[in-house]
Structure formats: structure tokens, C-alpha cells
Structure 1
């Protein structure tokens, strides 16, 4: 993966040196150079993720859409969600922020002889098989995402936030990032925390994020696409995940929670292979603002509903 990391560093360095650094000097903010470079590093991965999702999913949606796009305003709102989320790249920020906490925590644990082993400590032979180690990281993180997704549906206060994602009645690949800011923060801390716990190398973490983000964009795409009996049990397809967004999968009664590997739904009894293959999406019982309101309106309603759920209302 070094070629990818080298290319990314070269592009980031060129943009920073020729575009951002002169601007910082011009406005007298050169003391912020490290912070701006850190944001640029994250933002480039976000832009790459958006470009890959568009290149893969847009032709599929044009080829065989499940339904015509009739509410373009709702899709534009989802596009705004995507830009705000991907340019911030919360999982990467959480990973970086948690790294300093982990360093201090590991220092204390080392002094107490209580340092927990990473995945490569438990399985030393993985150090000689980097691609296999990378695959193991992906599988473990995907397993963690399955349980995080179930928790979003199981806890009322968390569902109050996550319902924004399910309220979309005009689902496209842009819908993947349609989440409340607090929901994204919790998801990023969850994902970044697991990655640090199992010892994911910092250079591999952004690539894993790209893979899972692309898989999620494809699974939300407005395309009539199934992978067949076997393929549907190996990878989450647009058909498999659209069942999750159907009206009967809202809240704790949800099905098909997996992000990348449907095996978790298969093993834990939450897989749905039999209902209408491409149902309409949305949550009719939730406030209309979550479906048709703008970004700010949806954020405000989601926050108010979460507070109400915590207060028992």
C-alpha cells in the first residue's frame, strides 16, 4: 500500500505548498499551518471517497434505477450531508484524536504490566502476511459496525438520531452520509476505538475507511441490483440493504444491519432474504421534517427527539 500512501502525500504536499501555504502567509495565519495540513490530509481522502462512489454508483443508478428521482431537493440535501461528512472525515479525526489518548493509556498500562495485546501480538505470523492482516482488520471492524448499527436501532435515544438516515424516501448512493452530527461522532469514536484496540496501522486505517465507505455508498444506491443467492450471502448488495430501509425495518425491529459482510446477519438471526426485494423506503411514523426538511432543520429535530427520548418522553 506504500504507493498509495506516497501518491497521497505527494498530492497533499503539492496543494499545501502551492495553494494553501501562500494563502496562510497572505492572511497572517501561518501559525495554523500544521492544523491546515492535517485537515487537507483528511479532506483529500474524503474527496477521493466521493469520487470513487460517484464513478461506481452513478452509472449503475442510470443503468437500472429502482425508481425515478422525483424529489431532487431531498437528494441535494443528502449531497450536502456527504460533502460536510467526507471533507471532515470524522473516523480519521477520531482515530487521530484517540491515538494520543491511547498513547497515554498504554503508557500507564505498561507501567502496571497490564498492556493488552493487539491482533498481531496475538497472531505474530500475521506480521509476515500484511494482506491477510489487512483483511482481518476489515473483518473485525465490519463486525464492530454490525453491532454499532444494531445499537443505533435498539436504544431509543440513539434511534432518535439514526432515524434521520432512515427517513429518506428518495434513497440514492448519497444517502449513505445522511446522519445526525452526534450520530456520526458516536460512530467515529466507536470505529476509531476498535481500530486502535486491535492495532490497525495508521497508514492502513484511511484505506479501510475508503473500502467500507464505498461499500456503504453502493449498498444505498438506487439500482435494481442483486448478487444472486450466493453473492447476497457474501457481500451486502443494494437489494439486501434496501430491505433494511423499508418501513418494516425501523427501530428495534430492523433487519439486515451488516455493512459489508451479511454473514453477521446470518449468524445472529437478523437476515431477511424473503420480503419484497425492492420496497419503498422511509419511516412514515417519524416527523415529516426528517424526510423533507433541510440539513439544519433535520439536525435540530433529531437533537430535540434525542433529548426527549433520554427524558422518557
Structure 2
């Protein structure tokens, strides 16, 4: 079954590349970027698949058992723009491709010394025999890295100035996952891409891992009154678990529930709040109104302004 799906997917990407993208590159004189654009296709297609899956799963749940209902949904429509801009995977691809090129040069220098940098598969050779187990291991390690990146976003004032774009949303839905300042996205992409390269994630598995984490994040941001129970809440981040993180009393350095996929990191490092009946109002009380209800450009500009003030110590 998986072999047929892989064949069909390869045929689809091949057709899109040869019939649409390659002629456009040739006409624009950009054939030097042909290989990179072919790799981008995976990110774009998986990004669109992620949007479809997130919508099919989350939208009916939001309609059936919402935490809140709003008379107007203007801020939600802005979040949709964020999602469409982010899910094509441009930033993660750029980070992975650029870092991959840098690592190739670094590997060449290291090879001259005879030293072989360890990866997960060299440390645990059994992973080479079980691709799904290897994929799960990559997800766990990358999720651990995302937990700490998220904590740092709340810890450092300049980083919080950018991340507060995400937390300003008072109408949180599954679209809110991608509501980020573009500089914050760049840092996140470099962080994620560097860690993926460090542990040896194959390029072909990279978009699959992104798809898994993004669907999980979309679900955790959903406007749904849903808990996974006393056991499930400790296994997978739920909408209730993550909503506590977005609560008005959980901003900046006072945050809880930083995990993206696995709550075990919050449990280990003492940042978990497992109260199952808590569904707080979301938003950042200190955020200017433009950061809440402004359009994409307005929010990006305000994020830069807040970053400048933070760097200036104000």
C-alpha cells in the first residue's frame, strides 16, 4: 500500500515540476535553483495536505463544542493569511537547504581529519532497520528541541517581543498556530533545521516530520472544549493543555505548558499544568490593540517596534 502511495506521490511531484515549475524557471533564467525548487515541492505539497487535514479534523470540532463564540471573526481571517504564507514550507526549506550546504562543506573539512560526526542512526544502529522507529525517534528529539525554543521565546525579552504576536490573539483557533512574526519564524526555522541536520534527519523525512508537528499544533490551538483525560493529557498535548499556555495569566516568563507534542517535557522540567477543567481566556493583556486586531502588515510592523524597544531596554 505504502509503495503505491509513494509511487503516486513521486509521479505527482514529477509532473508538477516538469510541466509547471521547470518551464517557469527556464523562462526566468533561474535554472540554477532547479534542485532547490524541486525539494521545495515536498514542503509545499505537505503544507497543503496539513491545511486540509487540520481543517477537516478541527473545524467540525470547533463548531460542535467551542470554548468561545464570537460575533465577528476578523482576527481569525488574519490568522488564515499567516497559515497560507507559512505552510508552503519556504522558511524551513531555506533553513534546511542552506544549513545542509554549510554542513556539507563542514563535513568535507571534518572528513580530512577522519572524524565521523555521530547521528541518531550511528548511535543507535537499530534505527537503520526500522524506518518508522527512526522517524519516531527524530520526532521525539525535535519535539524536545521545540520545547526549549518555546521556553526561550518566553524567557528573553527581545524574543518575547516577537513571540507576543502569537500570544496576542484573543480569538484562538486552529489557524492561530502559524500566527508568528516573520523574524520569529526565521529563528524557528534555523533552530529546527539545525537540530534536524545535527541528528541526521534524512531530507525525505523532513517534510513528513513537519507535517506531523504542524497537525498536532493546529489541533492544540483549536477553539475546542476538549481534554484527553488524566492519562491522555500526559501523553499528547491537547487543546485544553495548550489553551492554558495561551491564557491571559500565562504570558511572558509566567508561562506554563510549553510542549508542542509531548507534555512529558513540561512534566520533567516543572512547567506543566494538568488541571483538566481550565479553559481560560486567551491573549496578552500588555499587547497593543493593533497586535490583536490589525492586519498582517500592521502586526509585523508592531512586532519590529516592540523588538526595537526590548533591545533598547524599554
TM above 0.5, yes or no, is yes
> Does the CA-based 8 Å contact 2:168-2:291 persist in structure 1?
yes
Shift of 1:109: 1.8
Q: Deviations for 1:184-211, whole angstroms, at most 9, x for unmatched residues?
A: 0100111111110001111111101000
> Does the CA-based 8 Å contact 2:53-2:215 persist in structure 1?
yes
Shift of 1:18: 3.2
Tell me, in whole angstroms, the C-alpha distance in 1 between the residues paired with 2:110 and 2:24: 44
Q: Does the C-alpha gap of structure 1 residues 167 and 281 become closer, same or farther in structure 2, counting only changes over 3 Å?
A: same
What TM-score, normalized by structure 1, do the two folds share? Answer: 0.94
Shift of 1:296: 0.4
* Aligned twin of 1:227: 228
Tell me, in whole angstroms, the C-alpha distance in 2 between the residues paired with 1:178 and 1:152: 14
* Aligned twin of 2:242: 241
Gaps of 5+ in 1: none
Show the 5 A alignment for 1:162-173: 162-173=163-174
> Does the CA-based 8 Å contact 2:229-2:276 persist in structure 1?
no
Show the 5 A alignment for 1:131-280: 131-274=132-275, 277-280=278-281
> Does the CA-based 8 Å contact 2:58-2:174 persist in structure 1?
yes
* Aligned twin of 1:49: 50
1:124 aligns with 2:132: no
Tell me, in whole angstroms, the C-alpha distance in 1 between the residues paired with 2:250 and 2:18: 49
Shift of 1:307: 1.6
Tell me, in whole angstroms, the C-alpha distance in 1 between the residues paired with 2:6 and 2:203: 11
* Aligned twin of 2:97: 96
Shift of 1:20: 4.1
* Aligned twin of 1:29: 28
Shift of 1:113: 3.6
Shift of 1:114: 4.0
1:109 aligns with 2:110: yes
Tell me, in whole angstroms, the C-alpha distance in 1 between the residues paired with 2:311 and 2:183: 14
Q: Does the C-alpha gap of structure 1 residues 5 and 305 become closer, same or farther in structure 2, counting only changes over 3 Å?
A: farther
* Aligned twin of 2:63: 62
**What SS does the corresponding residue of 1:247 show, helix, strand or coil?**
coil
Shift of 1:30: 5.4
Q: Does the C-alpha gap of structure 1 residues 192 and 2 become closer, same or farther in structure 2, counting only changes over 3 Å?
A: farther
> Does the CA-based 8 Å contact 1:176-1:216 persist in structure 2?
yes
What TM-score, normalized by structure 2, do the two folds share? Answer: 0.93
> Does the CA-based 8 Å contact 1:81-1:178 persist in structure 2?
yes
Total equivalences in the alignment: 311
Tell me, in whole angstroms, the C-alpha distance in 2 between the residues paired with 1:114 and 1:309: 42
Q: Deviations for 1:81-118, whole angstroms, at most 9, x for unmatched residues?
A: 00011124422331122111111111112223444211
**What SS does the corresponding residue of 1:117 show, helix, strand or coil?**
coil
Tell me, in whole angstroms, the C-alpha distance in 2 between the residues paired with 1:131 and 1:22: 36
| Runs (4+) off by over 6 Å | none
**What SS does the corresponding residue of 2:234 show, helix, strand or coil?**
coil
Tell me, in whole angstroms, the C-alpha distance in 2 between the residues paired with 1:281 and 1:303: 22
Tell me, in whole angstroms, the C-alpha distance in 2 between the residues paired with 1:71 and 1:88: 30
Shift of 1:8: 3.0
**What SS does the corresponding residue of 1:242 show, helix, strand or coil?**
helix
Tell me, in whole angstroms, the C-alpha distance in 2 between the residues paired with 1:17 and 1:138: 32
Show the 5 A alignment for 1:8-23: 8-21=9-22
Larger mean CA deviation between 268-277 and 147-156 belongs to 268-277
**What SS does the corresponding residue of 1:248 show, helix, strand or coil?**
coil
> Does the CA-based 8 Å contact 1:215-1:259 persist in structure 2?
yes
